[in-house]
Structure 1
Amino acid sequence: MAIRYELKGHLALIDANIPYAGLSPIVEVLTSAEFEAMKTIPEEAKEALREIQHAESSFIEVFSNFTLGSFAVPAKCDTKLASTCLIPSDPDLFAFYMDRESLVFVDDGTFAADILAELGKSGIMRRMTTAHCLYMFFKNLMVDDLVWLGKLEDSMESMEEEMLANQSKSTTTVIMGYRRLSMRFLTYYQQLASMASILADNENKILPKEEADAFDHASAMADRLVDRAETVNEYSGQLRELYQTRIDLRQNAIMQILTVVTVLFAPLTLITGWFGMNLEVIPGLQWAPMWALLLALFVISTIALLAVFQRKSFLQKIVK
């Protein structure tokens, strides 16, 4: 269902079913079918929007009399529940069309409508123009993301502390989930920065200079988020390396245990192998006290080897 706002003093919701006859700029949210049915939209714009609307990337294209683009906003998980960050979720996909008189969001969901409703309730728009509305829309997309990225990093720090204390039950799946999530948002912020930079260039001159300059600020906001997301992504890589190191240390400890056990039983293996041969000429084979002597040799060799291991701190490492 179409939603329409009039930019007249504030972002005012008006009836979208009545043909608009006012002079103020308007902002609309339409479905794909409703956008296709609009007669005031150039066919060139409709064709271009069909190609980019469902692409899972944020993109902008500048034409002589209008600008259009698409958004692919990744979903934010609950950073307190690592399991929610592992479930792959589709991004919110929608597009926009903007000329000097109108700004149209093409969204088959509710994402764009929800953001515009927030802007309408907040009353923070200083200028009633389509370009300023799009600028505020950009800012709203990024407004709480620095805080969320910080919480995401805190969640990974908690996992790191648990791993160092040998209390973590994390798996490669959990760690790679964080890595994929941080990479997804890094790409998203890079695309937002590029979109805002293109709008600031104002190649088709449909934006007033003051509005075009505002998108430089939006580009700077996105660049800060890019830097933060890169830090989080690098940290996720360090977390994976730490996890791999813990696995390697655990495997080394197991191999050390097997080595110690093998060495301890080596004398007994040698003795049993020697006297287990099917020969009658082996010295001492018929001597009755031989078994006691062999047992004593085994005990002495075992104690000697344990003393050597203790001196080399092998046993302490195994216990740890």
Structure 2
Amino acid sequence: MIRTIAISQTNQLKPDLSIEELIRGDFLWYWIDFGQPTTEEIEFLRTPLSFHPLAIEDCVHTLQRPKLDYYEDYTFLVTQALNQQMLTREEIDFFLSKDYIITFHHNFSSEIEEVWKRLTLSTNVEEWEPSHILYLVLDKMVDNYFPLVYLIEDRLNEIDENSKGRSMEALLEDLFDTRHHLLSLRHTITPMRDLIYRVLNSQRMTSIQGKREYYSDIHDHLLKLTEMIEANRELTTDIRDSYISINSHQTNHVMKVLTVITTIFMPLTFIAGLYGMNFHYMPELTWKYGYFATIGLMILVAIGMSLWFKKKGWFK
């Protein structure tokens, strides 16, 4: 679907004009939105809009890395939004000039929809211009990153609080799922941060010079998001290492108890094995009290070794 808005020389909104009318007309600027376009509608990027084939190719092939390309009389930007329900990346492309802004996206974009409605309902269109629309859409995109990061933080807190008593397999599965989501967010937010940095330091995007503080605010938000993601990734590592350490400690304690029990039974097994030999000339075998003396010796050895291990602190 293609929709258009034009701003006339008298600052009047002119919606739903054809692309040919926009190109031939005398307007302050205009906005064309390619939302979930068909193959026929994509052809408008070639004719009559005459954009560079490489930029059109980037639009057609989805999930390009966020980037900024300069062409003769316009700037092309590839950005990535995040789907709030699916936690997936969705590409939004911009063609920006002082005379127009053209947005292109294969999926429904809540950010563009909100800015479009704000423009159509605006009573003061003099404040609007293509670079301002770009800022508003980017700002909404970045703002929508935060709930996803906060959701992951809450999930990590829940995992941390409920880590005791859970099996290692279940805990590690949750942690690895969380790390996967964090990695996906980092692959989106870090390139976006670099993109906004390039926009801020661009000498060719003169249209944003009067709005540098707005774009700088977006960059600050992306820096904060990057730090939050890295902190959460470190937290997943800390939770994993702590849980593994606790389990290792518990395993070591069990092994220590088993070692103590085995060590106590070693001399008892030796005594039982020694007198289990069926040699005919063993003096103790014919002794009247031999059995009771051997049992008593085994009990004394077991008690003595248990007291000695307790004194050494092996039962703690």
Q: Give me the TM-score of the superposition, normalised by structure 2.
A: 0.80
- Quick one: structure 1 residues 96 and 127, their matched pair in 2 at CA, closer, same or farther if it must change by over 3 Å? same
Q: Could you say what secondary structure the match of 2:156 adopts?
A: helix
Match of 1:85 in 2: none
Partner of residue 103, structure 1: 101
- Relative to structure 1, the CA distance from residue 25 to residue 56 in structure 2 (aligned partners, 3 Å threshold; closer, same or farther) is closer
Q: Give the structure 1 partner of residue 152 of structure 2.
A: 152
Secondary structure, counterpart of 1:315 in structure 2: coil
CA 1:28–1:20: 2 relative to 1, 3 Å: farther
- The 5-angstrom pairing of residues 114-129 of structure 1 reads 114-121=110-117, 127-129=127-129
Higher relative contact order (CA 8 A, sep 6+): 1
Out of 127-136 and 215-224, give the one that drifted further: 215-224
Contact 2:66 2:80 survives alignment (8 Å): yes
Name the structure 2 match of 1:58: 66
8 Å contact kept, 2:94–2:102: yes
Query: Quick check: 2:2–2:33 contact (8 Å CA) kept in 1?
Result: yes
SS across alignment from 2:284: coil
Checking the alignment, whether the CA contact within 8 Å between 2:63 and 2:90 is kept in structure 1 is no
Aligned length: 301
For the pair shown, which has the larger CA radius of gyration, 1 or 2?
A: 2
Gap change, CA 1:17 and 1:41, over 3 Å in 2? closer
Check if 1:28 corresponds to 2:36.
Answer: no
- Whole-Å separation in 2 of the counterparts to 1:17 and 1:308: 95
> What is the correspondence of 1:271-290 to structure 2 with a 5 Å cutoff?
271-290=271-290
- The Cα shift of 1:120 comes to 3.6
Evaluate the alpha carbon distance shift between residue 144 and residue 208 of structure 1 in structure 2; reply closer, same or farther with a 3 A threshold: closer
Match of 1:82 in 2: none
Task: Tell me the distance in 1 between the aligned counterparts of 2:54 and 2:251.
Answer: 59
Q: In structure 1, what is the equivalent of residue 264 of structure 2?
A: 264
Tell me, what secondary structure is at the counterpart of 1:152? helix
Map of 2:303 onto structure 1: 303
Q: Secondary structure at the match of 1:262?
A: helix
The offset of 1:126, in angstroms, is: 8.3
Distance change >3 Å, CA 212–CA 279, structure 1 → 2: same
Asked if structure 2 preserves the Cα contact closer than 8 Å seen for 1:6 and 1:12, the reply is yes
Q: Secondary structure of the residue that 1:242 maps to in structure 2?
A: helix
CA RMSD across the alignment: 3.2
* Identical-pair percentage: 15
Describe the shift of the 1:116–1:93 C-alpha distance in structure 2 as closer, same or farther (beyond 3 A).
Answer: closer
Cα distance in 2 for residues equivalent to 1:255 and 1:211? 66
Q: CA deviation at 1:279?
A: 3.3
Q: For each residue in 1:172-219, what CA deviation from the matched residue of structure 2 results, as whole angstroms up to 9, or x when unmatched?
A: 121122222223323322211111122223333452421355322222
Unaligned runs of 5+ in 1: 78-87
In 2, Cα distance between equivalents of 1:303 and 1:248 = 29
Q: Work out which of the residue numbers 62, 68, 75 in structure 1 matches 2:76.
A: 68
1:1-320 aligned within 5 A: 1-6=1-6, 14-15=15-16, 20-21=21-22, 23=27, 24-30=29-35, 31=37, 33=39, 34-38=41-45, 39-44=47-52, 46-51=53-58, 53-55=61-63, 57-75=65-83, 90-111=88-109, 114-121=110-117, 127-146=127-146, 148-163=148-163, 166-169=164-167, 170-205=170-205, 207-316=207-316
Unaligned runs of at least 5 residues, structure 2: none
- Contact map agreement 1:75 1:90 (CA 8 A) in 2: yes
Q: Deviations over 1:65-124 (max 9, x none)?
A: 2222323334557xxxxxxxxxx964223433222332222222113xx21222244568
Label 1:270 to 1:26 Cα distance change in 2 as closer, same or farther (>3 A): same
